[in-house]
């Protein structure tokens, strides 16, 4: 019988063992050898082997069986992860090549079978391997569209539709895996196919997200790794996607994510994708541009925007190479696209530093690079003002007038100011500053001559305009010019001309001055030309003469100055007697024009704002009476009334208010509902606060209501007024009032502000209050009770009164929903013995819970008919601790109260509570009389003076969080409070509450605290869903950017030299960059 053709062919072909050995050897070489040549050779060998043996059924089956086994092996894991990725790439190329060249899907089906077996494995590493293999398949199978193909509908892969849908469905499920590395791998796997929207036509978008949507959702993932990969992999093609990245840059809490976004925006996204409003929102992000160091990645965004603006103006392509001068021209265009803010100057000075470092990175001499940088602006046609072309900005013609022309002048002057402040920075040597001044600035004499010319230009620029922005632009230009004086080199003749110029500016009415401009001129006029500290008389007489010159009322002194000059040899008592005996002349304000009258008050307010005079002086008092008080009583407009009140508030600490009641002016501001100006209200509150500190509450309370009709000056009337102010709709102002109340409460040993204490305690546990306010109150109350047992007793009394207020509360009260259980727990903990400082005042007298128990027993008798509150009070009594040391009189009172109240109580639970506490009292009493009550080492507590000195630190912290110092200071809530050191006295506590002040704070301020549940700002608490079920996407991670330290305008920080806090590099899948020859 003749042999069959198949058997003859089998004898000529390899046997199954040889096929298995060749496949194994090829995979082994690829796994261990990372060279491209080895990879390509072995891929070709395996492809040729399959081509030769695929017609022999038994050999083909062996090939598939061995290949499938090896796929399973490498999906289960490998020691070398880079080698594992190369093997996966080998499998993918074999499957795709066979599909393309031979139209054979056998290898693809074998690989798919292994993927389906392992896709939802319990091991995260195996699921990660599946994702990596799918990523290689999708990458290698991409089919580029031809010239005439529509990219939106083109099916850009060689994979069968069913196979592509299966692979994408697996990735979609795994994109919500609980393991962050798998979610990262999914984003890597779909990175290339996101560029081909035609592939998504097959996806059921009602159930699954597209590749682009997966990247968008990845930018909001809980994991920093996933967010980083989402930013790296997303292809920005629309303005909406660019806005998404911009929003994440501003709000994402992770620095690494923000840096990745910054790199993406500075390299891949043109400025045309952003509107002016969106650019402005970025420049307001203080964490990015005003951090402690200059972080180059963020300023690279501004650099790329400047280049794009120049290219757009010139009609160039965005990726064209620009010269340094062209880039700086684009920087000028960039400023023109921003709205002027207070922080913009600091940002542009830092930006200049970034540009200088970028332009002259090869120059080792730092000082030389500053001069070279300034020389880039030294040419006549430069858009920047310099020593050669600065006079051009003062030109007056038809083109240079109007709102747009004013705006152009304002931007030019601001850029001139930013550039000169940077190039003439004080940290540079005098020689370098002189070189830069010669390039950028005129001399002081020339500048003094230039100022009146530009003032005329500013006046002409606004004559034909009626918009409010004209007033703003004119003042911005003027302030910029005054500020630039500080960078000019001083000279004696120039200083004389500058003084004359400043004096002339104060009597100039070319345009309407705002209060900040007047204050700036007043500062330079007196600071540089008068010795106010050692010769205040001369400065005050000059001020009076200046006011007379402004008012143009003739060479006449004010009432007090006239008398003061005539009696220069008198002592203070003689002078005051003379002032009372002489008849005062009419006020100079009576016949003064309103415009001049307002300017006089602005100048006087500028004197007080700059803090030049900190002691009483008769001339200053006379100026206050003649100008400020007269204007406040008969105001011209709201601005003049505001400036007058600033003068009054500044003078109030320097005068005896027993003779001049300034508190009534504060009352006028607080009671006036017609024109509520928050700034004035805050000043009025500070005036009242300082007056109470000097004259006492009773006196200030009397003064406050002295001229109010039908007013009864009860002891708590002013307190009630302050509490009412806390309920204003303006949260910033109400928070300010609360901080003022806290400063009163801190040293309130007479319990004058007891009602305010009760109000704030209820506010802390009232749902819906502002989160930051609650955090402030938690820190304050815990620190308050940390200092002394007396403070704990004050807290206990306030709590009991707060509970009694809740027992009789009206249904329309704002405190109807106060969390009583949380408040009870808080007070029990905060008044416990362990919360006290190691050397707290009266610590040796034992726990304050005995005083709390006395207050509870007193009120419990009144609420026995109210079952709920009887249980509340009884439950607290049951948890009160008793120390072996106690005040005997108070102890006996509490013990008798328990014995008397027990038979009167109808509720069995309350009876049990009283019995338990009574037994605790008996145990403590018995222990105190036994031999076990050993003598304890004496601990000398802090004196009241030492205690109050420490408590002054809280006042400082409260001030630093308000507008009276600087709103940009870091809040004291984030500062680490130093630990108190000392030996704790060993005292036996019955029913001891084991808790510390740190434990209380951690419990109340953590994310899950009931205090903040109603206003939770982090909705992303739910972990990702399991991989085998469809899932809902997580909501956005809400970031809370930290508040950076405030820096002065001229304090330029050094460039960032920090190394990012990165996790140790861990060898795992999906960390190896994709090679360019994947599909070769």
**Same domain as 236, residue 354:** yes
Of residues 1047 and 816, which shows the higher confidence score?
816
What distances in angstroms separate CA 465 from CA 402, 469, 474, one per listed residue?
Answer: 6, 9, 12
Domain presence at residue 904? no
Provide the pLDDT for residue 297: 94
> Out of 154-158, 232-236, 702-706, which region has the weakest mean confidence (pLDDT)?
702-706
Provide the pLDDT for residue 1066: 33
Q: Is the pLDDT of residue 914 over 70?
A: yes
**Same domain as 639, residue 539:** yes
Q: pLDDT confidence of 953, banded at 50, 70, 90?
A: low
Write down the residue that tokens 């009476």 correspond to: 625
**Same domain as 491, residue 422:** yes
Q: Is the pLDDT of residue 782 over 60?
A: yes
CB 96 within 8 A of CB 137: yes
Helix axes 754-764, 771-787, angle to 10 degrees: 130
Domain presence at residue 77? yes
**Same domain as 200, residue 266:** yes
CB 271 within 8 A of CB 309: yes
Q: What is the mean pLDDT of residues 425-441?
A: 92
Of residues 931 and 964, which shows the higher confidence score?
931
CB 436 within 8 A of CB 374: yes
Provide the pLDDT for residue 763: 92
* Whole-prediction pTM: 0.76
Q: Is the pLDDT of residue 248 over 90?
A: yes
Domain presence at residue 55? yes
Q: pLDDT confidence of 1021, banded at 50, 70, 90?
A: very low
DSSP letters, 676-742, are --HHHHHHHHHHHHHHHHHH-HHHHHHHHTTTSTT----TTHHHHHHHHHTTSS-HHHHHHHHHHHH
Average pLDDT, the chain: 80
Of residues 596 and 3, which shows the higher confidence score?
596
Q: What share of the chain is helix, strand, coil (3-state, %, to 5)?
A: 60, 0, 35
Q: Is the pLDDT of residue 568 over 50?
A: no
User: Whole-angstrom Cα distance, residue 775 to residue 783?
Assistant: 12
**Same domain as 503, residue 426:** yes
Write down the residue that tokens 């085998």 correspond to: 1028
Joined together, the tokens standing for residue 150 give 């529509």
**Same domain as 410, residue 360:** no
Domain that holds residue 452: 403-512
How close are the terminal C-alpha atoms of the chain, in Å?
49
Joined together, the tokens standing for residue 61 give 């089956």
**Same domain as 347, residue 221:** yes
Helix (H) or strand (E) holding 990, with range, is strand 989-990
Q: Is the pLDDT of residue 923 over 80?
A: yes
Q: Which among 232, 291, 285 is positioned nearest to 1039, based on CA atoms?
A: 285
Write down the residue that tokens 């507590």 correspond to: 941
Q: Which of the listed residues 478, 512, 546 is the one where a domain comes to its end? A: 512
* Phi, psi angles (nearest 5°) of residue 157: -155, 150
Domain presence at residue 591? yes
Q: Is the pLDDT of residue 6 over 70?
A: no
Q: What is the mean pLDDT of residues 290-312?
A: 93
Q: Is the pLDDT of residue 402 over 90?
A: no
Domain presence at residue 193? yes
Q: pLDDT confidence of 364, banded at 50, 70, 90?
A: confident
Task: State what percent of residues in the chain have pLDDT above 90.
Answer: 26
Domain presence at residue 1041? yes
Q: Which of the listed residues 512, 545, 570 is the one where a domain comes to its end? A: 512
DSSP letters, 53-65, are HTTSHHHHHHHHH
Provide the pLDDT for residue 948: 66
Q: Which of the listed residues 118, 141, 171 is the one where a domain comes to its end? A: 118
Provide the β-strand partners of residue 989. Answer: 883
Q: Is the pLDDT of residue 249 over 70?
A: yes
Domain presence at residue 917? no
- The DSSP letter of residue 675 is S
**Same domain as 489, residue 542:** no
**Same domain as 567, residue 480:** no
DSSP letters, 329-340, are HHHHHHHHTSPP
Give 1015's Cβ-side CA count (13 Å radius): 14
CB 653 within 8 A of CB 690: yes
User: Whole-angstrom Cα distance, residue 670 to residue 663?
Assistant: 11
> Out of 74-78, 167-171, 869-873, which region has the weakest mean confidence (pLDDT)?
74-78
Specify the number of domains making up the chain: 4
Provide the pLDDT for residue 1025: 36
Joined together, the tokens standing for residue 949 give 């000195």
Q: pLDDT confidence of 575, banded at 50, 70, 90?
A: very low
Joined together, the tokens standing for residue 164 give 């592509």
**Same domain as 350, residue 264:** yes
Q: Is the pLDDT of residue 641 over 50?
A: yes
Domain presence at residue 283? yes
**Same domain as 266, residue 202:** yes
Q: Is the pLDDT of residue 91 over 50?
A: yes
**Same domain as 540, residue 501:** no
Provide the pLDDT for residue 675: 59
Q: Is the pLDDT of residue 350 over 60?
A: yes
Q: pLDDT confidence of 1006, banded at 50, 70, 90?
A: low
């Amino acid at each position: 019988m003749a042999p069959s053709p198949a058997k003859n062919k089998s004898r000529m072909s390899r046997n199954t063992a040889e096929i298995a050995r060749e496949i194994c050897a090829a995979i082994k070489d690829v796994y261990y050898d990372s060279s491209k040549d080895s990879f390509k050779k072995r891929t070709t060998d395996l492809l040729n082997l399959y081509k030769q043996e695929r017609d022999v059924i038994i050999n083909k089956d062996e090939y598939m069986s061995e290949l499938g086994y090896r796929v399973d092996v490498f999906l289960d894991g490998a020691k070398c992860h880079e080698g594992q990725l190369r093997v996966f790439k080998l499998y993918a190329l074999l499957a795709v090549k066979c599909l393309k060249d031979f139209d054979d899907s056998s290898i693809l089906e074998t690989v798919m079978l292994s993927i389906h077996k392992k896709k939802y494995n319990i091991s995260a590493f195996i699921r990660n391997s599946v994702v990596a293999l799918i990523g290689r398949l999708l990458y290698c199978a991409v089919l580029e569209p031809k010239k005439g193909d529509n990219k939106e509908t083109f099916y850009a892969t060689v994979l069968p539709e069913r196979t592509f849908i299966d692979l994408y469905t697996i990735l979609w499920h795994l994109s919500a895996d609980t393991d962050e590395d798998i979610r990262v791998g999914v984003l890597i796997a779909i990175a290339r196919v996101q560029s081909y929207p035609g592939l998504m036509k097959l996806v059921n978008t009602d159930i699954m997200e597209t590749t682009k949507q997966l990247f968008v959702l990845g930018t909001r993932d809980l994991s920093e790794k996933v967010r980083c990969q989402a930013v790296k992999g997303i292809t920005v093609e629309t303005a909406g996607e660019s806005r998404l990245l911009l929003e994440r840059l501003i709000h994402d809490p992770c620095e690494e994510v923000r840096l990745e976004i910054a790199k993406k925006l500075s390299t891949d996204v043109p400025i045309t994708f952003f509107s002016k409003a969106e650019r402005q929102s970025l420049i307001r992000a203080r964490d990015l541009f005003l951090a402690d160091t200059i972080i180059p990645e963020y300023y690279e965004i501004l650099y790329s925007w400047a280049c794009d603006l120049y290219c757009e103006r010139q009609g160039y392509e965005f990726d064209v190479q620009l010269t340094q001068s062209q880039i700086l021209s684009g920087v000028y265009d960039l400023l023109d696209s921003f709205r002027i803010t207070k922080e913009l100057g600091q940002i542009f000075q830092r930006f200049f530093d970034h540009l200088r470092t970028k332009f002259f990175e090869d120059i080792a001499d730092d000082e030389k690079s500053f001069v070279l940088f300034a020389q880039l602006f030294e040419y006549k046609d430069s858009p920047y003002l310099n020593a050669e072309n600065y006079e051009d900005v003062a030109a007056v013609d038809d083109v240079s007038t109007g709102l747009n022309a004013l705006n152009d002048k304002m931007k030019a002057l601001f850029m001139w100011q930013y550039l000169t402040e940077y190039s003439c920075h004080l940290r540079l040597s005098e020689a370098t500053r002189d070189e830069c001044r010669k390039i950028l600035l005129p001399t002081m004499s020339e500048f003094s001559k230039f100022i009146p010319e530009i003032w005329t230009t500013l006046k002409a620029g606004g004559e034909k305009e009626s918009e409010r922005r004209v007033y703003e632009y004119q003042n911005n230009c003027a302030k910029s010019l005054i500020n630039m004086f500080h960078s000019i080199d001083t000279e004696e003749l120039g200083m004389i001309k500058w003084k004359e110029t400043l004096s002339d500016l104060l009597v100039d009415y070319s345009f309407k001055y705002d209060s900040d401009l007047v204050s700036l001129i007043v500062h330079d006029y007196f600071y540089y030309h008068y010795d106010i500290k050692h010769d205040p008389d001369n400065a005050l007489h000059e001020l009076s003469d200046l006011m007379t010159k402004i008012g143009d009322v003739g060479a006449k002194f004010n009432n007090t100055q006239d008398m003061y000059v005539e009696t220069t040899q008198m002592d203070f008592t003689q002078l005051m007697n003379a002032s009372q005996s002489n008849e005062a002349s009419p006020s100079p304000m009576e016949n003064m024009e309103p415009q001049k009258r307002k300017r006089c008050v602005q100048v006087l307010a500028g004197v007080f704002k700059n803090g030049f005079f900190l002691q009483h002086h008769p001339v200053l008092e006379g100026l206050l009476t003649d100008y400020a008080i007269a204007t406040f009583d008969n105001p011209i407009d709201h601005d003049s009334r505001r400036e007058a009140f600033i003068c009054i508030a500044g003078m109030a600490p320097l005068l005896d208010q027993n003779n001049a009641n300034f508190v009534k002016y504060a009352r006028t501001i607080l009671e006036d509902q017609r024109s509520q100006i928050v700034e004035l209200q805050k000043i009025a509150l500070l005036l009242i606060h300082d007056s109470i500190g000097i004259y006492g509450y009773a006196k200030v309370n009397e003064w406050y209501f002295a001229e109010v009709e039908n007013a009864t000056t009860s002891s708590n009337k002013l307190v009630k007024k302050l509490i009412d102010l806390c309920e204003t709709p303006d949260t910033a102002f109400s928070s300010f009032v609360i901080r003022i109340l806290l400063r009163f409460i801190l040293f309130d040993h007479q319990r004058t502000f007891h009602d305010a204490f009760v109000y704030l305690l209820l506010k802390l546990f009232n749902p819906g209050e502002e989160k930051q306010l609650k955090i402030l109150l938690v820190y304050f109350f815990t620190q308050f009770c940390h200092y002394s047992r007396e403070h704990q007793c004050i807290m206990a009394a306030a709590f009991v009164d707060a509970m009694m207020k809740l027992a009789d509360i009206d249904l329309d009260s704002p405190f109807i929903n106060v969390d009583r259980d949380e408040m009870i727990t808080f007070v029990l903990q905060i008044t416990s013995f362990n919360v006290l400082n190691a050397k707290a005042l009266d610590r040796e007298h034992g726990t304050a819970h005995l005083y709390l128990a006395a207050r509870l027993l007193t009120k419990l008798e009144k609420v026995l008919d109210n079952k709920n509150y009887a249980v509340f009070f009884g439950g607290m009594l049951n948890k009160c601790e008793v120390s072996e040391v106690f005040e005997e009189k108070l102890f006996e009172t509490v013990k008798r109260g328990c014995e008397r109240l027990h038979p009167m109580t109808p509720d069995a639970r309350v009876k049990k509570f009283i019995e338990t506490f009574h037994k605790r009292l008996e145990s403590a009493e018995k222990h105190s009389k036994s031999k076990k009550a050993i003598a304890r080492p004496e601990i000398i507590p802090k004196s009241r003076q030492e205690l109050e000195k420490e408590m002054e630190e809280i006042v400082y912290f409260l001030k630093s969080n308000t507008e009276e110092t600087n709103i940009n200071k870091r809040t004291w809530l984030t500062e680490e409070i130093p630990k108190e050191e000392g030996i704790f006295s060993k005292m036996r506590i019955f029913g001891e509450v084991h808790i510390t002040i740190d434990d209380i704070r951690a419990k109340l301020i953590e994310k899950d605290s009931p205090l903040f549940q109603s206003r939770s700002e982090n909705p992303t608490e739910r972990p990702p869903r399991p991989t085998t079920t469809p899932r809902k996407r997580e909501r956005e991670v809400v970031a809370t950017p930290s508040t950076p330290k405030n820096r002065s305008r001229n304090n330029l920080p050094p460039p960032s030299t920090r190394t990012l806090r990165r996790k140790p590099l861990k060898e795992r899948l999906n960390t190896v960059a994709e090679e360019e020859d994947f599909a070769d």
